[in-house]
C-alpha cells in the first residue's frame, strides 16, 4: 500500500510541473469534429459494401453483394450446400453420429433475422433452422453440439475494417455467431456504416446508445474468422470461434418481392437433386 501511494505521489508531482507541454491545465472538451477517427471510409451504400468485402477478404473471410431478398435466400442455401459438400469431401474415416445436427443451422429467432421466410426455405431444402432460447443445461448443449453452421444478422457493420457488431438479446443468442465452425452474417445496407465512430455518432445523436448499452447483455465485435498465432507468428484459424466467416450484404431499401418463377424452378431442382443423392 505504501509503495502504491509513493508511485501515485511521484506521478502527480511530475504531472504538476509547469514546464511540461502536456497535459493542458484546463483542457477543453473535444468537439464532434475534433474526435480522432482511426479509420476512414466513404461513398454510397454499394461502395461501402464493396469496401467491407475487400477488408473482410484480407482477414480470411468471404462475401457477396446481392440486390434482393430472394437472392439472399438462394445464396444462403447455396452456401450451406457447398459447405456441406466441402466437409463431406474432406472427411476421413466413418461418418460420426451427429443425431441429425449435420443438417441443422444454429440461428437467431427467425423474426430477428433481416430476411423473412428463411426457415421455410431451409425446410424446403431439408435444412432445419435452430434458435435455442438458452444454452445453460447439458441437454440444451447436446442439442447443438454437432451443428457446424450458424447464421445471424448484425447490429452494425463497419466498412473501413470489415468488422461486424453482433449484439445478443432476446431471440439473438450469441452462440449462433461463436459456436459453429462456419458463420454466415446477413448484412442489410441499412446496417452498414463507414466506421465505428460514425455509428457511435449516429447512436448518440438519436439517443439510442444508452438504451442499447443497458438493454443488451453481450457485445461481440467480429473481424473475420477466429485467429490465433504462436510466438513465431504462425497463424491458425478457428481456434476460439468460427474458422469460416461469410458475409451476405444486400440492399434492403427495395420492396420485398414475391417468389419468382426462376426461384421456384431453382427450389424444385435443388429438392429433386437432394432426393436423388439420398
Whether residue 13 lies inside any domain: the answer is no
For residue 13, what pLDDT is reported?
86
For residue 258, what pLDDT is reported?
46
- What's the structural domain count of the chain? 1
Whether residue 37 lies inside any domain: the answer is no
Per-residue pLDDT 10s for the chain (278 aa) are 678 888 989 888 887 787 777 666 677 777 766 666 678 899 999 999 999 999 999 999 999 999 888 899 999 999 999 999 999 999 888 888 899 999 999 999 999 999 999 999 999 999 999 999 888 899 999 999 999 999 999 999 999 999 999 999 899 999 999 999 999 999 999 999 999 999 998 998 998 888 888 888 789 999 999 998 888 888 899 888 999 999 999 999 876 654 455 555 655 666 666 566 55
Whether residue 149 lies inside any domain: the answer is yes
Listed residue (108, 52, 79) closest to 182, CA to CA: 79
Whether residue 141 lies inside any domain: the answer is yes
Whether residue 121 lies inside any domain: the answer is yes
Whether residue 30 lies inside any domain: the answer is no
Full residue range of the structural domain in which residue 198 is found: 42-91+98-277
Query: What is the bridge-based pairing of β-strands 104-107 and 128-130?
Result: parallel
Whether residue 24 lies inside any domain: the answer is no
Q: CATH number for the domain including 203?
A: 3.40.50.10420
Whether residue 2 lies inside any domain: the answer is no
In angstroms, the CA 204 to CA 165 distance is 16
Amino acid at each position: 500500500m505504501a509503495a502504491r501511494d509513493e508511485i501515485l505521489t511521484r506521478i502527480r508531482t511530475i504531472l504538476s510541473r509547469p514546464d511540461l507541454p502536456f497535459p493542458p491545465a484546463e483542457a477543453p472538451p473535444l468537439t464532434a469534429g475534433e474526435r480522432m477517427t482511426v479509420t476512414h471510409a466513404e461513398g454510397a451504400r454499394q461502395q461501402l459494401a464493396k469496401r467491407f468485402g475487400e477488408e473482410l477478404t484480407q482477414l480470411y473471410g468471404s462475401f457477396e453483394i446481392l440486390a434482393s431478398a430472394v437472392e439472399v435466400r438462394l445464396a444462403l442455401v447455396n452456401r450451406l450446400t457447398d459447405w456441406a459438400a466441402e466437409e463431406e469431401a474432406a472427411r476421413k474415416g466413418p461418418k460420426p453420429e451427429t443425431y441429425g445436427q449435420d443438417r441443422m443451422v444454429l440461428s437467431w429467432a427467425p423474426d430477428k433475422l433481416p430476411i423473412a421466410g428463411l426457415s421455410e426455405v431451409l425446410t424446403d431444402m431439408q435444412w432445419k433452422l435452430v434458435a435455442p432460447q438458452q444454452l445453460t443445461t447439458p441437454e440444451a448443449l447436446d442439442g447443438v453440439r454437432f451443428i457446424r453452421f450458424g447464421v445471424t444478422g448484425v447490429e452494425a457493420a463497419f466498412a473501413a475494417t470489415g468488422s461486424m457488431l453482433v449484439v445478443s438479446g432476446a431471440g439473438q443468442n450469441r452462440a449462433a455467431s461463436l459456436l459453429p465452425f462456419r458463420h454466415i452474417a446477413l448484412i442489410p445496407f441499412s446496417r452498414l456504416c463507414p466506421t465505428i465512430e460514425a455509428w457511435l455518432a449516429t447512436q448518440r445523436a438519436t439517443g439510442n446508445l444508452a438504451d442499447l448499452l443497458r438493454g443488451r447483455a453481450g457485445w461481440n465485435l467480429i473481424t473475420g474468422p477466429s485467429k490465433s498465432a504462436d510466438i513465431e507468428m504462425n497463424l491458425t484459424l478457428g481456434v476460439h470461434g468460427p474458422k469460416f466467416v461469410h458475409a451476405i450484404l444486400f440492399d434492403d431499401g427495395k420492396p420485398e418481392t414475391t417468389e419468382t418463377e426462376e426461384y421456384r424452378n431453382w427450389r424444385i431442382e435443388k429438392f429433386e437433386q437432394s432426393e436423388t443423392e439420398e
